């Protein structure tokens, strides 16, 4: 279960809560009793880990797609890059 960090805007009291993802964010400050609690984003270790993991997976598949499409013109034609084509002994070598 992720840990959420809260901070009270009224009294600056900081508090941590263990909450499930589906649970509503806490509002009431346990110290001053005002509904001024604000959830601090990016500080919950569980949330941060999930976010960066998702990003990395996304990035990996995206770069894979890019390199896959970049390979196509190299195997077929020079793709306009006559310099590297000649270096690889492609159709533009002469």
Q: What is the token pair recorded at 47?
A: 């949330």
Interface region with Zn ion, contact rule CB under 5 A, candidates 12-20, 41-49, 62-70, 78-86:
12-20
> Cα(35)–Cα(37) distance, rounded to whole angstroms?
6
Interface region with Zn ion, contact rule CB under 5 A, candidates 10-18, 64-72, 73-81, 83-91:
10-18
Instruction: Establish if 10 lies at the interface with Zn ion (CB under 5 A).
Output: yes
Instruction: Establish if 11 lies at the interface with Zn ion (CB under 5 A).
Output: yes
CB-CB contact of 11 with 30 (8 Å): no
Instruction: Establish if 15 lies at the interface with Zn ion (CB under 5 A).
Output: no
Nearer to Zn ion, 15 or 78 (CB): 15
b/e per residue 42-75 (b: at least 16 CB within 10 A): eebeebeeeeeeeeeeeeeeeeeeeeeeeeeeee
The binding site for Zn ion (CB under 5 A) comprises 8, 10-11, 13, 29, 31-32
């Amino acid at each position: 279960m992720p840990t959420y960090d809260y901070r009270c805007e009224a009294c600056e009291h900081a508090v941590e809560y263990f909450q499930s993802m589906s649970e509503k964010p806490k509002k009431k400050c346990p110290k001053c009793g005002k509904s001024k609690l604000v959830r601090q984003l990016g500080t919950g270790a569980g949330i941060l880990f999930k976010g960066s993991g998702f990003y990395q997976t996304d990035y990996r598949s995206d770069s894979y797609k890019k390199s896959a499409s970049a390979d196509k013109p190299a195997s077929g034609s020079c793709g306009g890059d006559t310099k590297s084509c000649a270096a690889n002994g492609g159709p533009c070598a002469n």
